[in-house]
Structure 1
Amino acid sequence: MNYWIEKTLVDGRTDRIQGERALGKALWSPQKDKRGGDIYKNMRKVDVGDIVFHFIDNKEIAGVSVVKEKAIKTSGLSGTPWDRAAYLIALRDYSELNPKINRDELLNYSNKSILTEVAQVSEVFYTRTLSLRQGAYLTPCPPKLVTLISSIYKTKFNKDLPHVNSNNMIEFSHEIQNISSLSSFHDDLSNAGLQYLKKLITRFIASLLTKPFVLLTGLSGSGKTKLAQAFAQWICEDESQYKLIPVGADWTNREPLLGYPNALNPEEYIKPESGVLDLIIHAKDYPSLPHFLILDEMNLSIVERYFADFLSVMESKKEIPLYPKGSVNNGVPASLGIPENLFIIGTVNIDETTNMFSPKVLDRANTIEFRVTSQEMQAFLNSASEIDIEALNGKGAASAYSFLKMAANKSSYPADIDLIKETLIQFFDELKKTGAEFGYRSAVEILRLIHHLSVLDNSLTTNEKMDIAIMQKLLPKLHGSRRKICPILETLGGFCLEENGNIVKDVFEKADFDFGAHEVLYPLSLEKITRMYRGAVENGFASFAEA
């Protein structure tokens, strides 16, 4: 069974008001347009039992009906614009909607990311700007669009749409129903004594959905490890789905993560004591469950020495060879891929004992910086309570299915694409001057991140989402001497304001500058750029990661 949308004019058309071709009694159209184009081909695809939504007079979905018979060839009607050879499809069981679904309730900004995603995979009756397509008389209504229409009707009127079987609302219905459940993670954190800004939680979950490799950096003791641990415990059913591994300063190869063949006994493979190999195998065996590898203090050792194989297969999707095939027989596979349901979270602190990340690592991750404002510290001191992280165990396990489905959605076409592209090009041109420009992979991941941010919190503005993307995907690669980096920071800082003024005097050198002022387009990014500029002036060098 398929769903269709008939976009038709009824007002003033006698043939659609009465008779065998009236609304809800039949679909009918010419076989060709006036130029001979086959734009009505979908009429031939309609089958008995299909469901049709009737969008009338360019303003509302007025009813739903069921297809009674396949299309037959017939003649048009004289006195109408369709007075030539025609298709006719008989319908039955027309149900008029009362109340009707207005056009603006469906084709609006809050639904734009979903509508855009649908339009990427199917012919639709609307355009990229959510106006109506000319000539789109009958178009498919994919499951996601059916679910969206159904959810609008159910939410607004507390009714089910006629003829639409709620049991057929497949994967996307789970996504819609469980977004609120993912959002409840913030409330569960608070109840467990852990305090984080809701926007930070949204960034964290959206980053995991965008790419299963996230770096948490920033102030020591600001809750980086606790957040990673809390989310894993919240969404997982039990401890077999996650590992918290402290990285050792002596990690010089992959053995602490993947183990090694026993040189004294060639038939044996030594698994690492960390349990990482077992976690990867478990994730591969249980693809419907999310798994989490949390690498604490990830930069205590040089990351590329022990993590290079992971970085490589993240992109190639190939497998990591563990030993020559056929030489070992103790339950360890000869090679191992990184399953799509394994999410890797690294925590990072910067001091004299740690190592910096290379651009290769930063380019493959979403990097989230943790900072604590005076207001946040005041709120913490006023309401500090004992942390009960065990209270989170399994509370969000029902959201695991939705989480994995959302992560598998590779949509990279957010609703506000034009403004986003313009901003990205501005930053690309400037970052290129320092050799820190981004490639195609980063561009796609930025668009994907913005999509997931839109889905998780449709109240975020385009500028807020762009600010997050700049902060997490573009700025982390910036580093260099004062002479090299300060001119770039000045230009990038100017991009963050509505009007370019004297960025150095008005912002960078002004200790009490208000980053929340209305003229600031990207407050997160501007505040970070300012700190980097001041660091470069004071120390002669600056990088994104700081103590």
Structure 2
Amino acid sequence: MSIPKNIEKEHLLKAIEKIDRQGIPPFGDSQYYDVFYNGHTYPPKLIVSYANIEANGIELQRDSFKGGKNTECFNLLEKHGFDIIEKAERLPFKHNAETSFSAIVNKFIKQALSNDLKTNSYPKSYKNLEIRVSFGQGNPARIPWIALLREGQAVSNGIYPVYLYYKDFKLLILAFGLSETQEAGNSWNLNSPIQTIEEFFTHRLKTKPARYGDSFVHSYYFIDESTSNLELDPFKVDQDLAAIIDTYNNLQLGKANLISVKPIKYKVTDNQQTTFNYRDFVNDAREAGLNFSDKLVIRFISSLCTKPFVILTGLAGSGKTKLAQAFSQWISSDQSQVCIVPVGADWTNREPLLGFPNALDSTKYTSPENGALQLLINANEYPEKPYFLILDEMNLSHVERYFADFLSAMESHEAIPLHSSDEKLSGIPKSINLPPNLFLIGTVNIDETTYMFSPKVLDRANAIEFRVNHNEMEAYLGNSTKLNISLLKAKGAAMATDFVRKAKTENHEFNDFETLNSALLSFFRELKNVGAEFGYRTASEIKRFAGVIHSLNTGWSTDEIVDAAIMQKLLPKIHGSRRKIEPSLRTLASLCLVQQVDVVKVLKSFEEINLEDGSIVNYPLSLEKIVRMHKAVVQDGFTSFAEA
């Protein structure tokens, strides 16, 4: 298989960022060659494989193309300026055992495992940098450290290379250090996005560091405390330290903060927060190659704010997952705020989302590798930020089997129990809440491999159907803008606080409840005839939905709001045989019309009706759906809201 020709340097750099965040997966390392970039080495084929995700939306299977000299893979990397070295080849760095710092690091880690807090046996300087060592004062520190400082810098208000040993995780990090006590006054000059320690912990360890989260990761080493050399490669330790010292010595440190840091995280301060405006997302999405209609976006965002559980159903390949992914990345300042989880057909309980207590060791908890549980924990810790759990192909398994705890917690507002211990197990609390800043989005396709939703699920969600009409397809085929969803990352992050505020606000103003209530009662009476009537919860959520749309200043009429509410909250629960529901579908169709006409004729010659004519049709969206359901029940003898 040939490598796609549209992979550019920006895609390769994004792939390197992904490896920095997530590490090298099992069997992902290279055998003979590495890419050498910014003082680090990376597997060439893994870079190209991940780059294809950025360029074409799918990971390239590494066994589908070759690596090695004069191959397509290496030619691509070298074309874009990347250096490829043999694994046995040493980088331009001379290792001198007599001046090696690795022995000091080895001694430091071994002492960190004891209760010895003395530091007078350590050298005072290394390569003209002052050495400061700390194992704690009075009691052993959880994170002992070695810092190397230039003249004028201090651990209390400076920047410096620093080794941090996270004893609980047997993890040594060489970091671009930032003082925690006072503002540093200077910053690191990093030419490419570098992970903070907090981001490293979130992505790799599914938790947060106890301290030093704002410093940046240069290198990391997992320590084997049972071996004499701690599984540390002396050459690599010295090579990494030489690289960070070189960067440090070339900084222009002074009184002014002249140099900026470029972390992966896009940080937005409180005074940068602005009022949420859905139109900004629509415009940014179009610039990224995604053309969603204004009305679809308004319905989606208003549904999230009404109740943070939305189901996206409809035509396969119509943009359901892309909308969820695009909006969540646009509004989030940090990649860890979004978790996309493909649902497995073998999910029979909650463990794939919530994990489980370790049956062999009662002091440990096994968290799911997909990061869903950590997302819930983060959402509870940072209530001002939005967090998104996107369940792709949600109905590949019975939803009620793996999602029951979520469905119950949505209504009871009680915590979901995780384990029985009063202490945290592996950093996991005894129970977890579903906070109002957590947004659950499920995408759904209908075929012979999927399952239908029960009324219990549909009653707790807004279901938005995706269709593609002739004009939309024509616009898509004529659109020359290349899809690049990465352009959306954090562009709307300044509106995140206001978006969460809208979702948390209990009462949104709406001035025409009389018309809304009258329409709902008309539909209630007819739905009751087929056993699909709605309860107080649905009525309350529809009224809230109307207020949310009104708060977005969309200019929607009451009829448009009613139409969307009928489509998303009432029609999804209708299903059954022709004998049972055909009469009611006719009546529901008549309720969508302004005047009483021969509804049978309307159903048969629907194409002749102008849905945009407000003098004929009150609720065009709902009418079109009812006509399609009626057509299906006549042809097949059965119908439901979901269509293949």
TM-score, normalised via structure 1 length: 0.67
1:504 to 575, 593, 600: 600
Q: How many residues align?
A: 373
Residues 266 and 327, structure 1, Cα contact 8 Å, conserved in 2: no
The letter for the 2-side match of 1:282 is N
**Are residues 1:546 and 2:617 paired?**
no
The letter for the 1-side match of 2:402 is Y
1:473 to partner: Cα distance = 0.7
The answer for the alignment partner of 2:320 in structure 1 is 224
The answer for the alignment partner of 1:305 in structure 2 is 401
Cα distance in 2 for residues equivalent to 1:290 and 1:320: 20
Cα distance in 2 for residues equivalent to 1:415 and 1:474: 22
The letter for the 2-side match of 1:527 is E
The answer for the alignment partner of 2:618 in structure 1 is 521
Cα distance in 2 for residues equivalent to 1:540 and 1:189: 41
Residues 398 and 451, structure 2, Cα contact 8 Å, conserved in 1: yes
The answer for the alignment partner of 2:336 in structure 1 is 240
Residues 412 and 447, structure 1, Cα contact 8 Å, conserved in 2: no
The letter for the 2-side match of 1:360 is K
Residues 193 and 386, structure 1, Cα contact 8 Å, conserved in 2: yes
2:383 to 275, 278, 287: 287
Residues 562 and 619, structure 2, Cα contact 8 Å, conserved in 1: yes
The answer for the alignment partner of 1:449 in structure 2 is 545
The answer for the alignment partner of 2:4 in structure 1 is none
Cα distance in 2 for residues equivalent to 1:328 and 1:457: 45
Residues 318 and 467, structure 2, Cα contact 8 Å, conserved in 1: yes
Q: Say which structure, 1 or 2, has more relative contact order (CA 8 Å, 6+ apart).
A: 1
Q: Which runs of 5+ in 2 are unaligned?
A: 1-270
1:191-230 equivalences under 5 Å are 191-230=287-326
Residue 178 of structure 1: SS of its match in structure 2?
Answer: coil
The answer for the alignment partner of 1:533 in structure 2 is 630
1:48-447 equivalences under 5 Å are 178-180=275-277, 182-326=278-422, 329-411=425-507, 414-447=510-543
1:416 to partner: Cα distance = 0.7
Cα distance in 2 for residues equivalent to 1:453 and 1:529: 24
1:494 to 590, 602, 620: 590
The letter for the 2-side match of 1:409 is T
Cα distance in 2 for residues equivalent to 1:210 and 1:326: 35
Root-mean-square deviation over aligned CA pairs = 1.6
Residues 202 and 457, structure 1, Cα contact 8 Å, conserved in 2: no
- Could you say if the C-alpha distance between residues 217 and 484 of structure 1 is closer, same or farther in structure 2, counting changes exceeding 3 Å? same
The letter for the 1-side match of 2:635 is E
Residue 478 of structure 2: SS of its match in structure 1?
Answer: helix
The answer for the alignment partner of 1:471 in structure 2 is 567
Residue 383 of structure 1: SS of its match in structure 2?
Answer: coil
Q: Percent identity?
A: 55
The letter for the 2-side match of 1:537 is V
Cα deviation 1:295-336 (Å, max 9, x = unaligned)? 000000000000000000001000111111237632111111
1:508 to partner: Cα distance = 3.9
Cα distance in 1 for residues equivalent to 2:465 and 2:553: 20
Cα distance in 2 for residues equivalent to 1:506 and 1:489: 12
**Are residues 1:480 and 2:576 paired?**
yes
Cα distance in 1 for residues equivalent to 2:322 and 2:447: 20
Cα distance in 2 for residues equivalent to 1:239 and 1:328: 26
Cα distance in 1 for residues equivalent to 2:564 and 2:606: 24
Residue 442 of structure 2: SS of its match in structure 1?
Answer: strand
Cα distance in 1 for residues equivalent to 2:497 and 2:279: 15
Cα distance in 1 for residues equivalent to 2:603 and 2:425: 64
Residues 412 and 445, structure 1, Cα contact 8 Å, conserved in 2: no
Q: Which runs of 5+ in 1 are unaligned?
A: 1-172
Cα deviation 1:501-536 (Å, max 9, x = unaligned)? 111212344444332233000000000000000000
Q: After the TM superposition, which segments of 4 or more aligned residues of structure 1 sit over 2 Å from their partners?
A: 325-329, 506-518
TM-score, normalised via structure 2 length: 0.57
Residue 568 of structure 2: SS of its match in structure 1?
Answer: helix
The letter for the 2-side match of 1:231 is F
